[in-house]
DNA sequence: ACTGCAGCGTACCGTACGGTACGGTTCCGA
DNA sequence: TCGGAACCGTACCGTACGGTACGCTGCAGT
């Protein structure tokens, strides 16, 4: 409950601490949570347990620091380009979608999500909230901004941004994330192809046909799918 | 690794063992995995640890038994009605979707998924595989059968059943499952409304418009293809 | 009534882990 | 050169947990 409070202010760690967090993440990606013992982290990072406790205060503090550290690494997202038009919107959405799939399927992301989920209980959800805040909020804000821009341009038509975002998320990710979390391996499922298809489906649901050229839905032209 | 092998054949437990598994599930729903100690289960179920080990062989065996037991409880699904036509298909799909949402959001399901996910590692995924086998496979087969029936009736149009199923799953569940697993609480999001909307969206993607009109009874009519 | 079995409750063991303490070393500023 | 701070490595402590052993009770079969 005091995860956000244990770290007083710094929020940015020294290079040495970053290295320790890095090897801790490696340890987590390998053997899972049970491999993430304080002694193990100290041994893997060539540091002392005493330093660990001094820097992160607690084992939970270490876990929280690992999450914020990892999210800070992924923050290197480029800004949205100012281009307008349907093609630009589709391109940007597809890029974000593919990136989302790639991130979600990454080893470190999966390990951290497994850690937070395994930790979560009914009410208390320490790491889960932290992970949602640092991992999912950014994606949501970026996608939502893009959707609303598309709506302002008259390319998209939806009432509730959050609802539209969630549907888009569902079309992109489907059950892939939970399957991966449960240990399944995604067979083929190239991120790029899936992203493009999801964006296409999203436009068929929320696109304004006047701007899409040959309106597919009303004319019964058919929605051919390629599996 | 020997989860499926530890239980020799029975697969069905005595009432006493069922009661023990029930209280173990209750213990898991409450305090999470760390509350699920062998001593705790024995105390909560008024049985001895020795009996626990005799019945389930191992702590992992107990966990696996909890999963199979819980899935056997949910197996009380009614068969599909033989009714045909678009309305009947929509009704059945909506019912299954709402039921899926309700099950996924259930306390026991969430607790077991958290347990299996927390346990899962890169390669090894003991409980995860078991959960996928007993929890997700049934839903997939039922929904897939329904989708293919709709396609045979000319109500739906898709090439790959598995792909269509996954998109439907994404439309229904979206990010709700992972959010719940991470400890978030679904704000409003009534299962019925979400299910109906998801089915509607699915039909807008994969429905054949020619048949959306009043087609009340169509006993096994073929696929008339226009154009 | 006798016997054996299933099961409860408890005690016990070994290990593993979170957390702390301590000595030794390096490095930096005075 | 000195003092101290940071830190490494290791040893140590208490506890908690998985797993086993043992004594006792109740019940079925004969």
**A142-171 confidence digits (pLDDT tens):** 999 999 999 999 999 999 999 999 999 999
Q: Identify the sign of the CA torsion A44, A49, A53, A59.
A: positive
Contacts (Cβ under 8 Å, ≥6 apart) of A170: B170, B171, B172, B173, B174, B175
Model pLDDT, residue B5: 38
- Confidence (pLDDT) at A123: 66
pLDDT of residue B73: 87
From chain B, pick out residues whose CB is under 8 angstroms from the CB of A226.
159
Rounded-to-integer distance, Cα A63 and Cα A1, Å: 13
**Residue B121 and residue B116: Cα distance in Å, rounded?**
10
* SS3 (DSSP) at B207: strand
- The whole-angstrom distance between B179's CA and the closest CA on chain A is 8
Give the tens place of pLDDT for each residue, B38-61.
999 999 999 999 999 999 999 999
Residue of B nearest to A32 (CA): B121
* pLDDT tens digits along A95-136: 999 999 999 999 999 999 999 999 998 767 789 999 999 999
Q: Say if the Cβ atoms of A223 and B124 lie within 8 Å.
A: no
A124–B160: do the CB atoms touch at under 8 Å?
A: no
Model confidence at A214: pLDDT above 60: no
Distance CA B76, CA B62 (A): 23
pLDDT higher than 80, residue A225: no
Hey, are the CB atoms on A124 and B183 less than 8 Å from each other? Answer: yes
Q: Which nucleotides of D are covered by protein (CB under 7 A)?
A: 7-11, 16-23
Q: Which of residues 37-96 of B touch strand C (CB under 7 A)?
A: 42, 46-51, 54-55
Nucleotide nearest to B36 (CA to C1'): D17
Per-residue model confidence (pLDDT) at position B222: 41
What is the C-alpha to C-alpha distance for residues A26 and A213, in angstroms, rounded to an integer?
A: 49
Residues in chain B within 8 Å Cβ distance of A166: 174-175
Q: What are residue B207's DSSP bridge partners?
A: B156
The tens place of each residue's pLDDT in chain B, 227 residues long, gives 433 433 344 457 899 999 999 999 999 999 999 999 999 999 999 999 999 999 999 999 999 999 999 999 887 666 667 788 999 999 999 999 999 999 999 999 999 999 999 999 876 778 999 999 999 999 999 999 999 999 999 999 999 999 999 999 999 999 999 999 999 987 777 899 999 999 999 999 999 975 444 444 444 444 444 43
How far, in Å, is the CA of A39 from the C1' of nucleotide D11?
13
User: What pLDDT is attached to residue A126?
Assistant: 87
Identify which of A105, A132, A108 has the alpha carbon closest to the alpha carbon of residue A195.
A105
A226 CB neighbours strand D below 7 A: no
Asked if B51 contacts B43 with a C-beta cutoff of 8 angstroms, the reply is no
Residue pair B165/A179 in contact by the 8 Å Cβ criterion: no
Q: What is the tens place of the pLDDT at every residue in A40-99? A: 999 999 999 999 999 999 999 999 999 999 999 887 666 667 788 999 999 999 999 999
Name the token pair of A105: 């399927």
Nearest Cα residue in chain B from A29: B122
Query: Is B10's CB less than 7 Å from nucleic acid strand C?
Result: no
The pLDDT assigned to B3 comes to 38
Would you state the pLDDT for residue A5?
A: 37
Do B178 and A131 lie within an 8 Å CB cutoff?
Answer: no
Q: In terms of DSSP H, where are the helices of chain B?
A: 3-6, 15-29, 38-45, 49-56, 59-74, 86-104, 107-119, 126-131, 137-152, 161-173, 176-181, 191-206
Whole-number pLDDT of residue B186? 79
DSSP code per residue over chain A: --HHHHS-S--S--HHHHHHHHHHHHHHHTT-GGG--HHHHHHHHT--HHHHHHHHSSHHHHHHHHHHHHHHHHT-PPPPP---SHHHHHHHHHHHHHHHHHHHTSHHHHHHHHHHHHH--SS--HHHHHHIIIIIHHHHHHHHHHHHHHHHTTSB--S-HHHHHHHHHHHHHTTHHHHHHTT----S--HHHHHHHHHHHHHHHHB-GGGTSS-TTTTT-------
Comparing CB atoms, the residue among B33, B158, B170 nearest residue A171 is B170
pLDDT of residue B74: 80
* Position with higher pLDDT, A225 vs B102: B102
Predicted confidence (pLDDT) at residue A178 exceeds the cutoff of 80: yes
Asked if the C-beta of B38 comes within 8 angstroms of chain A's C-beta atoms, the answer is: no
Q: Is B130 left (phi over 0), alpha (psi -120 to 50) or beta?
A: alpha
List the 63-102 stretch of A: residues with Cβ below 8 A of B. none
Q: Which residues of A touch B164 (CB under 8 A)?
A: 225
């Amino acid at each position: 409950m005091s995860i956000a409070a244990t770290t007083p202010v710094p929020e940015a760690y020294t290079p040495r601490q970053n290295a320790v967090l890095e090897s801790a993440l490696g340890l987590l990606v390998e053997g899972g949570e049970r491999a993430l013992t304080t002694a193990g982290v100290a041994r893997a990072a060539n540091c002392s347990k005493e330093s660990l406790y001094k820097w992160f205060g607690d084992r939970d503090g270490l876990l929280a620091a690992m999450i914020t550290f990892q999210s800070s690494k992924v923050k290197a997202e480029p800004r949205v380009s100012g281009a307008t038009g349907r093609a630009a919107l589709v391109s940007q959405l597809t890029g974000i979608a593919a990136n989302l799939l790639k991130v979600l399927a990454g080893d470190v992301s999966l390990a951290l999500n497994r850690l937070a989920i395994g930790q979560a209980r009914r009410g208390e959800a320490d790491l889960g909230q932290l992970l949602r805040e640092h991992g999912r909020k950014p994606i949501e804000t970026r996608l939502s901004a893009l959707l609303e821009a598309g709506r302002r341009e008259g390319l998209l038509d939806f009432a509730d941004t959050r609802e539209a975002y969630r549907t888009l998320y569902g079309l992109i990710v489907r059950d892939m994330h939970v399957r991966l979390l449960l240990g399944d391996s995604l067979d083929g499922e190239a991120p790029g192809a899936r992203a493009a298809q999801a964006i296409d489906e999203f436009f068929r649901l929320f696109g304004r046909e006047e701007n899409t050229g040959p309106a597919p839905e009303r004319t019964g032209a058919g929605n051919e799918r390629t599996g």
